[in-house]
């Protein structure tokens, strides 16, 4: 892979040892280039605007500006629409991660993730896919169980065709394009096209935001037979 084709990564963590560990791993991997490091959320946003990385690995709890606020600022900047934020956490799917997904993060990783899984996750995020496994999605569903759909703030379902609603619901289960294609008996390319059109109509940055939309809009619920 040529250097210009490499996945460009920004590392954001207030612990120097954590940053050094991530950098050492990524620098040794072909096809991935670390373009900068930040020790706080404000600097993370500045470097994202300066370098427009493909993926930003962002710690949740940081000084000056939290990882969630940094994610929100990056997601809100049209110039950074290609920056996919992956939240780093010690605690699994806690309230911080849930809020980060709402803010526009593409997904999350535990800090003790195996090196091979981290590398895979970076490539998944760079493609614009969500880092939400079915197990994680089930826990997300649990977050929505106790709250009614927020149809007052969610985009209108009327913007989506029947097929687009169906693929959005399946994506909310954590299915890949290939799995969606098999379920709907269509090609993976067609499934990807439906997903892309749904994201465009809803103003979603990535599949993670489609998951949030699916439950907030009431398109799917924990009692939906499709789940």
Q: Tell me the DSSP string of 44-88.
A: HHHHHHHH--SEEEEESS-SSS-HHHHHHHHHH-GGGTT-EEEEE
Rounded to 5 degrees, φ, ψ at 174 are: 90, 15
The string of DSSP codes covering 154-189 is: SPPGGGS-HHHHHHHHHHTTT--HHHHHHHHTS-HH
The long-range contacts involving 24-30, CB below 8 angstroms and separated by at least 24 positions, are: 25/115, 25/118, 25/119, 26/119, 26/122, 29/119, 30/1
Task: Specify the residue for token string 């207030």.
Answer: 14
Instruction: Count CA within 13 A, CB hemisphere, residue 166.
Output: 15
Minimum mean pLDDT range among 23-37, 78-92, 122-136, 212-226: 212-226
**pTM of the predicted protein model:** 0.69
Average pLDDT over residues 37-54: 96
Rounded-to-integer distance, Cα 5 and Cα 176, Å:
24
20-43 pLDDT per residue, tens? 999 999 999 989 999 999 999 999
180-202 pLDDT per residue, tens? 999 999 998 999 899 889 888 88
Q: How confident is the model at residue 140 (pLDDT cuts 50, 70, 90)?
A: low
Q: Which helix (H) or strand (E) holds 32?
A: strand 32-38
Q: How confident is the model at residue 227 (pLDDT cuts 50, 70, 90)?
A: very low
| pLDDT beyond 80 at 218 | no
DSSP label of 219 = S
Provide the pLDDT for residue 91.
65
């Amino acid at each position: 892979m040529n250097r210009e084709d490499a996945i460009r990564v920004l590392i954001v963590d207030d612990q120097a040892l954590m940053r050094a560990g991530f950098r050492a791993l990524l620098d040794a991997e072909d096809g991935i280039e670390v373009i900068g490091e930040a020790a706080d959320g404000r600097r993370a946003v500045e470097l994202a605007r300066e370098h427009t990385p493909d993926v930003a690995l962002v710690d949740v709890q940081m000084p000056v500006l939290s990882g969630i606020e940094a994610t929100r600022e990056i997601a809100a900047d049209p110039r950074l629409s290609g920056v996919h934020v992956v939240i780093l956490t010690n605690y699994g799917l806690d309230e911080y991660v849930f809020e980060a997904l709402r803010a526009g993060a593409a997904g999350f990783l535990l800090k003790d993730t195996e090196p091979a899984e981290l590398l895979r996750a970076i490539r998944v995020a760079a493609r614009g896919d969500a880092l939400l496994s079915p197990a994680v999605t089930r826990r997300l569903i649990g977050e929505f169980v106790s709250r009614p759909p927020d149809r007052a703030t969610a985009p209108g379902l009327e913007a989506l065709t029947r097929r687009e609603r169906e693929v959005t619901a399946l994506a909310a289960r954590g299915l890949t394009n290939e799995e969606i294609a098999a379920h709907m008996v269509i090609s993976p390319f067609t499934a990807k096209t439906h997903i892309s059109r749904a994201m465009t109509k809803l103003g979603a940055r990535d599949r993670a935001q489609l998951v949030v939309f699916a439950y907030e809009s009431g398109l799917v619920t924990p009692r939906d037979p499709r789940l």
